[in-house]
Amino acid sequence: MATFVDRVVLHATGGDGGHGCASIHREKFKPLAGPDGGNGGNGGSVILEVDPQVTTLLEFHHLPHRHAPSGTQGMGDHRAGSTGADLVLGVPDGTVVKSPDGEVLADLVGTGAQYVVAAGGRGGLGNAALASQRRKAPGFALLGEPGESADIVLELKSIADVALVGYPSAGKSSLVAAISAARPKIADYPFTTLVPNLGVVQAGDARYTVADVPGLIPGASEGRGLGLEFLRHVERCAVLVHVLDCATLEPDRDPVSDLEIIEAELAAYAGDLGIEGGRVPLTERPRVVVLNKIDVPEARELADLVRPDLEARGMRVFEVSTASHEGLRPLTFALAELVEQARRDAPAPEATRVVLRPRAVDDAGFTVTRREGGGAVWFAVRGEKPERWVRQTDFSNDEAVGYLADRLARLGVEERLYAAGAVAGDEVRIGPDTNAVVFDWEPTLVTGAELLGSRGTDARLDDHSRPTRGEKRVEYKERMDAKAAARAELWTEREQGVWTDPEQD
């Protein structure tokens, strides 16, 4: 059973907005009291928030699917639906939010830092909010919008002051156990540590945290041996400590070559990913070399041999033994000094900047594009407002469909369709290709609430084969004129004797 998880995939869904209510107030002696349908409640959002009590992503490993509560439907008598509560998920400090493609969406550092993963849907308006001077009593309401869905990757980068790096079985876990109260797993085989271990060290009045990073091997910066999984826990540490094994029995290894290989992997990792932990690049942070296992006589001799070479490179070298605790006290105080200096040199946190992005003057908020495919031609309408209005429309209600046509016409969609070359009967799709609303465009529809019929209907969507009042008037005049002309012709024929009866003559 895993107890530490530093990478998970989270499937989050915001709550759906509640539908608006279409209701007419009914009261004795008030037959036309007007609409009183309330608005639907907004859905809750899924929010990530840094919680100092959370240290691992294990909870999301077991429950990767999270859904925020939905809003409820509006009711009559102007009663609005309840709003769904936000689902706040606690994450450890140092969690990075990424898209499935690897794009960094947020870097959550500091208690209380938040990021909205999936926003809740808006509640639909009731018919009371849709009433206007011309549309006195709407027979429809707007539907609630569905909540957003998002698949994100959460990666935990340990936030510690000191990182212990080195080859497997170099003694990093033993060092953490010797200088702090942490009790990581310790064994005499490589890759005993598979997850980072954190320990708190008290050196005089100074207190700092130490991270035991799992062992690195050549090629770790390229992902070999889960190197990238381990290296990302080094990014936020202010001081790096190279733990070198002076008692290794492998013939092709020695402390100097181990140091050079690990340094090369750190430089390659920082160079490939462009990582700059704060303002200090990874390759420029303070470094300390620890020559471990000097309780072994051969290891002490090797440490004395390589120490001048390492000091010539500008490294501070400490000879320690985690078994006998020799040299640990000077090491802890030296690390405390470096950590305090790094804290003093760290830039003050800047206040969050409010970024305003006003819409361009010539930006209508939507686009109309002519597309072809599969022998068919259609016009795609994309934009926040048209797509939201389509989601809010109840297509089983003709009046609601007419209201949508009015909104699209006022927005200028019909003008854009004309400019794009659309003609009557062309196919128009509003929304994404995978879930678009498809209809045949009829540009001859006249907009306006004055054409409304009874509640829930729209005269523009009726059968247009029926003659209008003007057409009936013209037809009536033509029929009366034809009758008058027929009577005049019959009278003329009678006067001329065409209708003479031979028997009477």
Binding residues: 166-173, 191-195, 212-215, 292-295, 321-323
Residue found under tokens 């869904």: 13
3-state helix, strand, coil in the chain (%, to 5): 30, 20, 50
- Cα distances (Å, whole numbers) of residue 380 to 365, 403, 439, 444: 14, 20, 11, 20
- Asked if 22 and 138 count as a contact pair (C-beta separation under 8 A), the reply is yes
- Cα distances (Å, whole numbers) of residue 258 to 9, 174, 175, 187, 398: 35, 19, 18, 21, 76
For residue 438, give both structure tokens: 């498809």
The number of residues in the chain equals 505
Segment holding 334, helix H or strand E: helix 328-345
Residue found under tokens 């078994």: 323
| Annotated binding-site ranges for GTP | 166-173, 191-195, 212-215, 292-295, 321-323
- CB count within 10 Å of CB 137 equals 19
- Asked if 233 and 187 count as a contact pair (C-beta separation under 8 A), the reply is no
3-state secondary structure at position 259: helix
Would you give the DSSP letter of residue 30?
B
Q: Residue 388: name the closest of 82, 115, 148 by CA.
A: 148
| Annotated binding-site ranges for Mg(2+) | 173, 193
- Asked if 220 and 227 count as a contact pair (C-beta separation under 8 A), the reply is yes
- Cα distances (Å, whole numbers) of residue 69 to 16, 59, 120, 238, 240: 8, 19, 9, 41, 45
State the Cα–Cα distance between residues 211 and 194, nearest whole angstrom. Answer: 13
The secondary structure of 148-211 as a DSSP string is PEEEEEEEE----SEEEE-STTSSHHHHHHHHSS------SSTT---S-EEEEEEETTEEEEEE
Q: Residue 365: name the closest of 428, 410, 420 by CA.
A: 410
State the Cα–Cα distance between residues 66 and 18, nearest whole angstrom. Answer: 19
Query: Would you call 237 exposed, middle or buried from its count of C-beta atoms within 10 A (0-12, 13-18, 19+)?
Result: buried
Q: What is the rounded radius of gyration, in angstroms, for the C-alpha atoms of the chain?
A: 39
Q: Residue 157: name the closest of 103, 51, 228 by CA.
A: 228
- Cα distances (Å, whole numbers) of residue 474 to 426, 480, 482, 485, 495: 32, 10, 12, 16, 32
